[in-house]
């Protein structure tokens, strides 16, 4: 038995998408979705009711006292580090020793600042406290202190959670189509279905992508919605800071909140100005500026890896459901840094997308509960070091397309031009996968020309 389907592009006029050529193909009854690594992929079949019913009731209840205690703890860490470095490091006799201590300080304080950022993120989801006023007040102060527009981010991030994995509606890390990826890299004259490779897997090219991604990803996303949906009108209408008429990110009723967010940033800039006048540009740069860059690095790295992996699908809007989109995320491991400083954001992100109102200190328990419901649809990689995973996924996850034979299904998996698809392990269970189809030649089938 077979069926005839016509493949069309679900992604409209998204910035990273161009219209896929329509093709009519016959789908054999044995056809199935195949991920980047050659493994069969099945669309999630669990329901959100099953997820909610599986989670213990107390996990849904935030503790204001506990949440505030974590804020206090993180600021004690940060201010103590600042005081010790500012007071005692200048007394060290060796310039090399001072440089080494400053370097260690900026890395540690950047991690602590990332934890504070994550607590503000909890506020935006209402997971910090039952009080909406306390959530917004605390989140506004914490995020503003880190030069993040609280309400602007909260609104756009909420849209992301409501449309995760939807190629037409998601607001961040919207992947390219094959056409857009090839045409923007080689030119519009190149046929994306006959080109075989681009040198995209060379170490130097991958390094360049990693560096530029980490340096410019966050500011360009905030300034002009890089990696999100975007039409013809660019900056400032797609900026998280724009509160004027014509904004493409915010409704008219939300523009006042964007303006308030900008006031918070302006107030922090005034604080930094007076700090420079009091302690000097060098001290403020070391104590706040460089750790702030580390903070941006960690936030971009974490969020990229939460949504980018060869096993994760994306969906045409017609095939998308909340449960499917929320399960198109992956948990990873960052050891003590995640569990103590990053408030479990690396290791429990699948749960966070399914039920974002659960506070982080209940997230591990809730994650264990939802695993029983999700089964094979729960994705985790607790073996690959974080930075190695970043390198690998920057190199391999270049665009998405449907599996040959499944055209018209509306299920899109990551692909690349160089045919990469290393044999994976079942990293959640620690066992090998016998169903690997990676022996397929790179020039045909899953990875090759159509």
For 331-389, the pLDDT digits (tens) are 999 999 999 999 999 999 999 999 999 999 999 999 999 999 999 999 999 999 999 99
Contacts of 139 (CB under 8 A, 6+ apart): 120, 121, 122, 123, 124, 128, 150, 154
**Rounded to an integer, what distance in angstroms lies between the CA atom of residue 46 and that of residue 51?**
8
pLDDT at 10: 46
The label of the residue with tokens 């003590």 reads: 336
pLDDT at res. 421: 56
* Residue 432 reports pLDDT greater than 50: no
State the average pLDDT over residues 261-265. Answer: 98
Give the pLDDT confidence score for residue 434 in this predicted structure.
31
Q: How far is CA 244 from CA 5, 73, 154, 253, 350, in A?
A: 45, 38, 18, 11, 35
Q: Which residues of 426-437 are buried (b: 16+ CB within 10 A; e: fewer)?
A: ebbeeeebeebb
CA distance 278 to 289: 16
Which ranges in 225-254 belong to alpha helices (H)?
Answer: none
Q: How many Å apart are CA 197 and CA 200, to the nearest integer?
A: 7
Nearest to 323 by CA among 368, 378, 372: 378
Query: How far is residue 236's CA from residue 262's CA, in Å, rounded to a whole number?
Result: 14
Q: Is residue 311's pLDDT more than 50?
A: yes
- Cβ atoms of residues 28 and 2 within 8 Å: yes
């Amino acid at each position: 038995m077979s069926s005839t389907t016509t493949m069309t592009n679900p992604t409209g006029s998204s910035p990273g998408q161009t219209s896929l050529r329509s093709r009519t193909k016959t789908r054999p009854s044995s056809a199935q979705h195949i991920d980047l690594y050659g493994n069969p992929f099945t669309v999630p079949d669990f329901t959100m009711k099953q997820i909610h019913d599986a989670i213990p009731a107390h996990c849904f209840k935030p503790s204001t006292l506990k949440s505030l205690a974590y804020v206090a703890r993180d600021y004690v860490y940060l201010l103590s580090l600042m005081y010790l470095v500012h007071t005692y490091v200048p007394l060290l006799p060796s310039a090399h020793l001072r440089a080494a201590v400053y370097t260690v300080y900026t890395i540690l304080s950047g991690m602590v600042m990332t934890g504070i950022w994550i607590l503000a993120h909890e506020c935006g989801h209402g997971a910090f406290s039952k009080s909406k006023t306390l959530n917004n007040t605390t989140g506004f102060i914490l995020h503003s202190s880190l030069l993040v527009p609280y309400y602007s981010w909260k609104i756009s991030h909420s849209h992301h959670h409501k449309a995760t994995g939807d190629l037409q509606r998601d607001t961040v890390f919207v992947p390219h189509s094959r056409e857009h990826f090839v045409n923007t890299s080689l030119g519009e004259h190149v046929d994306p279905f006959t080109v075989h490779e681009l040198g995209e897997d060379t170490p130097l090219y991958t390094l360049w992508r990693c560096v530029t991604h980490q340096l410019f990803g966050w500011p360009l996303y905030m300034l002009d919605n890089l990696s999100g949906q975007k039409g013809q009108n660019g900056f400032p209408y797609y900026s998280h800071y724009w509160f004027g008429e014509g904004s493409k990110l915010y409704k008219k009723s939300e523009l006042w909140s964007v303006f308030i967010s900008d006031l918070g940033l302006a107030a922090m800039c005034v604080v930094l100005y007076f700090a420079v006048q009091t302690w000097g540009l060098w001290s403020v740069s070391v104590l706040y500026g460089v750790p702030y860059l580390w903070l941006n690095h960690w936030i971009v790295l974490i969020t990229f890896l939460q949504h980018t992996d060869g096993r994760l699908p994306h969906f045409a809007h017609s095939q998308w459901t909340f449960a499917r989109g929320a399960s198109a995320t992956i948990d990873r491991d960052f050891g003590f840094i995640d569990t103590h400083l990053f408030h479990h954001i690396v290791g429990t992100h699948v749960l966070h997308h399914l039920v974002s109102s659960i506070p982080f200190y209940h997230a591990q328990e809730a994650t264990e509960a939802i695993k029983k419901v999700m089964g094979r649809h729960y994705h985790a990689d607790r073996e690959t070091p974080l930075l190695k995973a970043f390198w690998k996924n920057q190199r391999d996850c270049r665009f998405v397309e449907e599996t040959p034979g499944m055209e018209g299904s509306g299920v899109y998996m990551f692909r690349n031009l160089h045919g990469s698809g290393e044999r994976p392990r079942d990293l959640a269970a620690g066992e090998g996968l016998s169903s690997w189809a990676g022996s397929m030649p790179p020039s045909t089938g899953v990875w090759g020309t159509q």
